[in-house]
Structure 1
Amino acid sequence: MSAKNNKDKLKNKIEDLGGRAKEAIGRATGNRETTSRGRADQAKASLKDAGEKV
């Protein structure tokens, strides 16, 4: 595994964790927009991760 792959995986994981945090904050505050943004960030990170595995 190359350094670039590791760097990309780390970026994807950070984006996923950020999305999870946004979703949790949105749920706690009742803010649907923040919850949706968090879910979108998580989905984007998952797609990037899947694309790198191909």
Structure 2
Amino acid sequence: MEFKEIYNLHEKQVYRYLLTLCRDEHLAEELTQEIFYRAYLQIKNFQGKCNNKD
């Protein structure tokens, strides 16, 4: 899956979650962009593994 597809699938959900936390539309929009930007920079390191021991 391409990063653009991931963004399109999850952007609204991330934005809504952040909006509930900060209650500021502009800040939630900026944080959403920052989160996806940082994820994009680190996607090459993602291995798809989980350390969950449940």
The two structures have a TM-score, normalised by structure 1, of 0.39
- Please state which structure has a larger fraction of its residues in helix: 1
Higher relative contact order (CA 8 A, sep 6+): 1
The two structures have a TM-score, normalised by structure 2, of 0.39
